[in-house]
Structure 1
Amino acid sequence: MSATTGASSTPLERDAQQINARSHDKIDAGEIAIGVVIGRASEFFDFFVFAIASVIVFPQLVFPFAGPLMGTVYSFAIFALAFIARPLGTWGFIAIDRFFGRGTKLTIALLLLGTSTVATAFLPGYETIGLWSVVLLALLRIGQGVALGGTWEGLASLLAMNAPAGKKGWYAMLGQIGAPIGLILASALFAFFVSLLSTADFLDWGWRYPFFVAFAINVVALFARLRISATPAFIESYEDRELQPTPFRQTVRAEGKNIVIGAFAPLASFALFHMVTVFPLSWVLLYTKEPPARFLVIELIGAIVCLICVILSGPLADRYGRRNLLAATAAAIAAFSGFAPQMLAGGEIGGIVFMMSGFILLGLSFGQSSGSLASNFAAINRYTASALTSDLAWLFGAGFAPLAALLLASNFGLGAAGVYLLSGAAGTLIALWINRETTQHRKA
């Protein structure tokens, strides 16, 4: 057993342990699921608050010198910094986990995430401090990315281990519903302030409130996650090395091929993720006269549709298999990429059809995209390998999606953005095929 297991104590974690001691000694999958949903919803709320601000705030506040298009391009470039920093955060926080315990790691990570997020709310604009506004925004975004690398607590893996037979898809889905919940909350908040305030007031102070809300949600999520990770079930799994952090290099040497395959398996879903959330908002604001509040409401409705489809992905995966569902949705996303640009360019009706169709596909695919190939990892490496796989999947599939799609569409037309989405679908299908061939070879 790691020497750090018993040393993983922060005041918040000790409070969580006392609550567990007063309640019961065993935690069931349903309670783990609650912790996973709260944790993921808080992360994705932070994510979407920054993403929406990258479209409707930062180009005017931080990059007014660049013009609307290039201001949005620069904003998306800073948005991508978090995905580059995230694997570095995982590397650093895995070391903290090994030497000081998961409670210390999770507390530091979520406090860093909350601090970076709330500090963004106080960001002065370019007109006030010049290029330092750009520098500060970039540093805060990197801080968010590093922190996200440390928020992996293994609860999703623990949830999968505790899932009843024949319900793996259902319990895998539970870890994913935090994304549409986060988008619903973020879209609703921004839609409210954009519609309520004048443009000047919104850019002056209205946009800052969602970042304050994000900090408050992080505090709640921190205690919820510590409450679960301090339970006897989690500690027992941790001590049995099923959820034990292993050294970064050791994990990469042992699981490098599986990590790469696992990172590319959800590529279609992750590429689509930004193609129906962040990119269309930027396109509509740059190239149409549609007000942002209206489109944010459409995005909110789409997120509700996505939530329903994420839930539906559970029973579908249990009936037909998670990997089969991923392959089928990747093929559907490939087909969608062929006519999605025409729909987005088809006026108000076409845009709505694009959004709803995209969110349906996103929900069905994203609902099963997390850890779909985690069983390939040896038990001893699963904790660290799963965290790194998730980081790389977000980096390759989603990190540069808004930036690439906007540059392609602006220079070569909307059809070029569809090519980017098609490449993600191809990546998923190839990864699933390689995994199938590898699995069959092992059995042979």
Structure 2
Amino acid sequence: MKKVHFIAIGGSAMHNLAIALHEKGYQVSGSDDAIFEPSSTRLQQRGLLPEQMGWFPEKITSDLDAVILGMHAHADNPEMLRAQELGLKIYSYPEYLYEQSKDKTRVVIAGSHGKTSITSMILHVLHYHEKEVDYMVGAQLDGFDVMVKLTEENDFMVMEGDEYLSSTLDRRPKILLYQPNIALISGIAWDHINVFPTFENYVHQFELFIDSITPGGALIYNQDDPEVVKLVEKTEKPLKKFPYSTPDFTIEDGISYLQTEEGPIPLEVFGKHNLSNLEGARLICNQLGVMDEDFYEAIQSFKGASKRLELVNRTAEYVAYKDFAHAPSKVISTTNAVKEQFDQKQLVACLELHTYSSLNPEFLGEYKGALSKADEKIVYYNPEALAIKRMAPISPEDIRNAFGDETIQVFTSSSDLKNHLDSMDKSGKVFLMMSSANFGGIDLKEVF
């Protein structure tokens, strides 16, 4: 039996991998300095939750087959230092996923936006048709217990490919470690400014990603994105290339219908970006042996990945959605999608600035016009988040200037924001709450 230890087992990706290995029959142990829900309950249910929080070098023993190092662990982590001392093999999360899938056909979904949705769509279709694959995806999905599955027998491994760094020891983007046989790039829009200081540096990671595809492999790409097209045209790698673009669709009574050879198909999801994602997912499914007719049959019941245009409440008077959107390109596409879907309603768009990039004065200008389709625009940020991240303070006026809109209401207190939303006449409105956090702890179900 293989023995594996996780340093920072509580992370959203890490705990899913720990559970997948446990279910594969490995002996799994782990440590962390803090573990939150749902990770703690999931680990506890399987007897994998550490008895004590903290780092314990004595857990690192010479009989371990692998130590997996999470992004959350720092360079002075005592367990990592002990593993180095013993000469143990230390893997980053993506490195170990490659190790588990090196004898399989690897499918990697990459891009600045849409990768979770596309991966989720593919898995939904395969699950619907009872086609078994190994997988790793970053959001909770209906019908799936955990978000990593590893087996000995499955031929394919479908992975969401994140361009963020692998670990404190391995500063390469995760997508560069998978060596896909089949790859998709959904689009390129500058993100992770704290790691990739220039747009050119960020784009270069996707150039390297294309180079990492196995020779003769397949590249599915969004031909509506000029940056992606440039890279695809530039590569000399022998690849099969399959472009896609937003398909034809219509909207009737708040429902989007995809136009297909079989006729119009009603969808649970909406927005040009989601229809574009759907086309990418269809081409990947074709590569996996699922024909269009079967794809369309399955995709009608896809309700979306967790936190991606997730319905909070729908009443006769108003509708409210929450979305994980936080990078400028995602904010624009999500805001536009909701406005287009509900063109008879007033759109109230509320964005929380929470990440390193979004709170960086040099990056803020990337949000220019991002909320322009909204009828009422709200931006919330917590000045304490800037202090914790050791970043320079920004003012509400800085935000209005960066967005290029004097009408934006800026809130720096979550209770003030909640009071504002509570007191608002919601009739005839659609609310879009966008954040990768939680608006300072506001329970949206209480507000809507």
What TM-score do you get using the length of structure 1 for normalisation? 0.24
Greater relative CO, 1 or 2 (CA 8 Å, sep 6+): 1
**Higher-Rg member (1/2):** 2
More strand by share: 2
What TM-score do you get using the length of structure 2 for normalisation? 0.23
More helix by share: 1
